Amino acid sequence: MQEVAGSNPVPPTKLTFLTINLSNFSHVNINITFPDGTDHSYQTGITSSEIAKQISPGLFKKSVAAKFNDQPVDLNAPLLKDGSLEILTVDTADGLHVLWHSTAHIMAHAVKALYPEAQFGVGPAIENGFYYDIDIDSKLSQDDLQRIEDEMQRIIKRGSSFVRKELTKKEAVDFFAGQQQDKYKLELLADMEDGSPSIYSEGDFTDLCRGPHIPSSNMIKAFKLLSIAGAYWRGDEKNKMLQRIYGISFPKKAQLDEYLFCLEEAKKRDHKKLGKELDLFSFHREGPGFVFWHPKGMRLYRTIETYLVDKLTQYGYGEVKTPIILNDALWKKSGHWDNYKENMYFVDIDEESYAIKPMNCPGSCLIYNSNMHSYRDLPLRLAEFGNVHRHERSGVLNGLFRVRQFTQDDAHIFCTPDQIQDEVKACIDFVQEVYKDFQFYEYHIELSTRPDKSIGSDEIWQQAEDALRDALINKNINYKLNPGDGAFYGPKIDYHVRDSLKRSWQLGTIQLDFSMPEKFELEYVGSDGNKHRPVMIHRAIFGSIERFIAQLIEHHGGRLPVWLSPIQAVVLPLSEEQLAYSHAVFSKLKDAGLHVEMDARNEKIGYKIREAELGKIPYMLIMGKKEVENKQISVRTNKDGDLGSMEIDALIDKMNYEIQQKA
C-alpha cells in the first residue's frame, strides 16, 4: 500500500473507479467474529457502521473506523467474506490515530484553500497527534497557524464525508499529473508496486491515501496546530526542506485542554533546560551529540550505576569490560557490517580498518570463546556498562534522549535451550524490580518480531519469537505485538515506560539471539559429552544511562528523590554568627555520607531559600540564633515546606531512611 501523501482539489477528470456490485452477494451470508470470541452471521455487503449500530447506539456514535482481519478499513466499507471484526472508537489508541490522520487531511485542505500553490509531502498520524509536510514559497509563522486553524473550523462545520475510491496506478498517475500537478505524490506513485492506489475526497479536496478516515469531518470537536519545523523530503538531506506543521485533535475539548496543559508542563520539565539550570551536563558545538557531564550530573550518573552494580551481584552477573575499538573483521563476522554499517564510525590503525563499537555483544562473544565451557557453567551472565558510538543525523539529536555516544547497561546471558524460559523470566523480574525503585509504575510491553533486514534462518527466528512469547504468557504479562521491529539478530521484548505526564519512552529490552552464537561458533559440552550451541540473551534495563537520566529528570520535573539527588541538603546560616555551628552541622552530614552544600553568602535567607528551591535541593537546613542555642536545625523541604526544628541525628536518620527505602 502507498504512504500517506499530499493533497489537491479534485480537477475535472474521467476516471474508472473500482466498484462492486453487491447484488451479486445479496443471497450469501458471512460469519463475523468479534474480539470477545463471539460469532454472528450477517448478509454479505453489510458495513462495519451498520454492525456497530446494531450492537449499540453508543458504540455507533463513537465509532471512527474498524479492523477487519487485522486490516484497518473505513466504517462504510462493505464486508464480503468471513473474518474477525473490531470496531475502533475514539476511546482506543487506534481510533484516536484515525481521528488524527483525518485532522491532518483537514489541515492540508485548509492550507490548499489559503495557499493554492502549495504541494504536499506526507501527513501521517504519529505517537502524539499528526503532522503534514508542505512545499510552499512563503515561510509560515505562528500567525499563519491561526489563519489555518480558522479555515479548518470552516471546513469542519460543513460536515463533509470522507469518500474512498480506488484507481489503477496509471489512473492515479494521470490524475495527479493533470490540472494540479503534485511532484511529491507522483514520486510516491512511481515507487509503488503495481496495485490499486486509493484516494480520499472530502468536499472539494482529494488526497492520495491508504486510509482509513473518520466518516465525517464534523467528528473533529477540538484541535490545535502546535508548531512548525523544517523537514527534508523523505528524511534525506539531499532533498528539499519542506515546512512541517504539527497538530493534535480530540473528540472532546476537555481532552485537548488537558493535553495542552501537559504540553506546557513538559516544557518546564524539559531535561535539556533543567540539565543546564541544575548544572548537570552540557552540549557543545565541538562535539555535537556528545554529552559533557558536570560534577553534579556525574554524581547522579554514578548513583544510578552503583545501584545497578549491586543488583547485578544479587542476580548472579559477572561484570566485564570490552574495548571500544575493534577490527572490521569482527563486525563483518557479527553481521553489523552488512546490517548496521551506516550507523558506525570507522578509523584506520596500522593500515587496517577498525570500527568504534556500536554494540557490546561481539565483545562478550569473544570473552565467552576465551574459555571452554561445560553445561555446568551455564547460564553465564556477563554484564557491561559499555560505552558505544552510533552515528545519528544532526536533525534527530535530542539532548540525552538521542546522542551519538552513550553507555548501555548491557548484559549477555549464555544459556542452554532449556534454560531460556527461566532466564527470560528472571530478566523480566529484574526489570520490574528496578522500575519500581525508580517509581516507574506504568509501562507496556511490546514483542518485536523479525525486521526486513536481518540475519538467521526462518526456523531460528520462529523458535526465538516463540520462546519470548511463551515467557510472557507464563508470566501472565499482557503485551502488544510490534511486527518487524526486532533487532537484526533476533526478536525482543521492549519496555515502554509512561512518565508523570503520560508520555511513553522505550527503555528496557530483552532480546533472544540464536544467530550470533552460530556466527561466532560458540560451544559448550553437554551432559552427553558432545558439543552444543548456546543461546544468547541480550538484556538492558535502562536502555542507556543517558536516556534513563533524561527520563528521570522529566518524570520528576527535576525534583529527584533524596537517594538520587546530587545535592541532598544545603546548610543556610542566617548570618555570620551562625557560621561556626553551620560548619559543624555541614561536617557531620558529610561524615554521615550525605551530599551536602553550604550557602554562606551574605544574602537574605529568603533569597537563599528561593535559590535552593530553584536548584531542586530536597532539604534546606536553616541555622538561626535559636537553632544554635538549642543545638537543633530548622528543616524545610522542597516538597512539603517547613517541617519545624529537629536534632541533627534525627535528621540524619530521617534522610538515611528515605535513601534506603528509595522514598
Query: pLDDT tens across 330-358, in order?
Result: 999 998 898 888 899 999 999 999 999 99
Confidence label for 504 from pLDDT (cuts 50, 70 and 90)? confident
What does the alpha-carbon distance between residue 294 and residue 177 come to, in Å, rounded to a whole number? 57
Instruction: Flag whether pLDDT at 253 surpasses 60.
Output: yes
Higher pLDDT, 21 or 361: 361
Question: 326 and 182 in one domain?
Answer: no
Question: 413 and 347 in one domain?
Answer: yes
Residue 90 lies in a domain: yes
Question: 303 and 261 in one domain?
Answer: no
Per-residue confidence (pLDDT) for residue 79, from 0 to 100: 93
DSSP 487-532: BTTB-EEEEEEE-TTS-EEEEEEEEEESHHHHHTT--EE-TTSSEE
- Pick the catalytic residue: 209, 361, 365, 415? 361
Question: 302 and 244 in one domain?
Answer: no
Q: What cell was used for 523?
A: 560451544
Question: 384 and 455 in one domain?
Answer: yes
Instruction: Flag whether pLDDT at 245 surpasses 80.
Output: yes
What does the alpha-carbon distance between residue 660 and residue 637 come to, in Å, rounded to a whole number? 18
Query: Which residues, in sequence order, are CB contacts of 217 under 8 Å at separation 6+?
Result: 102, 106, 155, 156, 158, 159, 160, 161, 162, 202, 203
**CATH code where residue 27 lies:** 3.30.980.10
Cα separations in angstroms, 360 against 388, 484, 551: 7, 23, 23
Per-residue confidence (pLDDT) for residue 651, from 0 to 100: 95
Instruction: Flag whether pLDDT at 606 surpasses 50.
Output: yes
Question: 515 and 399 in one domain?
Answer: yes
| Average of per-residue pLDDT across 18-22 | 47
Write down the mean pLDDT value for the chain.
89
Give the dihedral sign, CA 315/320/324/327: negative
Per-residue confidence (pLDDT) for residue 179, from 0 to 100: 56
Give the dihedral sign, CA 191/193/194/196: negative
Residue 532 annotated in active site: no
Higher pLDDT, 190 or 419: 419
| Average of per-residue pLDDT across 522-542 | 95
Instruction: Flag whether pLDDT at 27 surpasses 70.
Output: no
DSSP 240: P
Q: What are residue 223's DSSP bridge partners?
A: 249
**Nearest of 631, 617, 613, 628 to residue 579 by alpha carbon:** 628
Residue 561 lies in a domain: no
Residue 538 annotated in active site: yes
Q: What cell was used for 135?
A: 512545499
Q: What percent of the chain has pLDDT over 90?
A: 67
- Pick the catalytic residue: 133, 144, 182, 410? 410
Cα separations in angstroms, 170 against 156, 166, 176, 188, 573: 32, 12, 10, 13, 81
Question: 358 and 469 in one domain?
Answer: yes
Residue 276 lies in a domain: no
Question: 261 and 119 in one domain?
Answer: yes
- Pick the catalytic residue: 408, 551, 568, 632? 408
Instruction: Flag whether pLDDT at 562 surpasses 80.
Output: yes
Q: 490, 359 in Cβ contact below 8 A?
A: no
Question: 235 and 289 in one domain?
Answer: no
Query: Position 631: which residue type?
Result: K
* Number of compact structural domains in the chain: 3
Query: Which residues, in sequence order, are CB contacts of 613 under 8 Å at separation 6+?
Result: 620, 638
Question: 419 and 365 in one domain?
Answer: yes
Pick the last residue of a domain from 269, 290, 305. 269
Residue 310 lies in a domain: yes
Pick the last residue of a domain from 269, 289, 319. 269
Per-residue confidence (pLDDT) for residue 347, from 0 to 100: 93
| Average of per-residue pLDDT across 31-47 | 92
What does the alpha-carbon distance between residue 339 and residue 346 come to, in Å, rounded to a whole number? 15
Residue 256 lies in a domain: yes
Question: 356 and 238 in one domain?
Answer: no
- Pick the catalytic residue: 101, 538, 555, 616? 538
Give the dihedral sign, CA 551/555/558/560: negative
Instruction: Flag whether pLDDT at 421 surpasses 60.
Output: yes
Per-residue confidence (pLDDT) for residue 375, from 0 to 100: 96
Question: 76 and 54 in one domain?
Answer: yes
- Pick the catalytic residue: 109, 112, 185, 492? 492
Residue 492 annotated in active site: yes
- Pick the catalytic residue: 67, 336, 412, 608? 412
Residue 408 annotated in active site: yes
Instruction: Flag whether pLDDT at 237 surpasses 70.
Output: yes
Instruction: Flag whether pLDDT at 448 surpasses 80.
Output: yes
Residue 560 lies in a domain: no
| Average of per-residue pLDDT across 591-602 | 94
Q: What percent of the chain has pLDDT over 70?
A: 95
Per-residue confidence (pLDDT) for residue 162, from 0 to 100: 92
Instruction: Flag whether pLDDT at 194 surpasses 50.
Output: yes
- Pick the catalytic residue: 67, 105, 381, 390? 390
Between CA 71 and CA 83, with CA 77 as vertex, the angle to 5 degrees is: 50
| Average of per-residue pLDDT across 570-574 | 95
Instruction: Flag whether pLDDT at 128 surpasses 90.
Output: no
| Average of per-residue pLDDT across 599-612 | 93
Residue 274 lies in a domain: no
What is the greatest pairwise CA distance in the chain?
A: 98
Confidence label for 180 from pLDDT (cuts 50, 70 and 90)? low
What does the alpha-carbon distance between residue 387 and residue 552 come to, in Å, rounded to a whole number? 20
Domain containing residue 577 = 569-661
Residue 410 annotated in active site: yes
DSSP 454: -
Residue 453 lies in a domain: yes
Pick the last residue of a domain from 218, 247, 269. 269
Per-residue confidence (pLDDT) for residue 10, from 0 to 100: 35
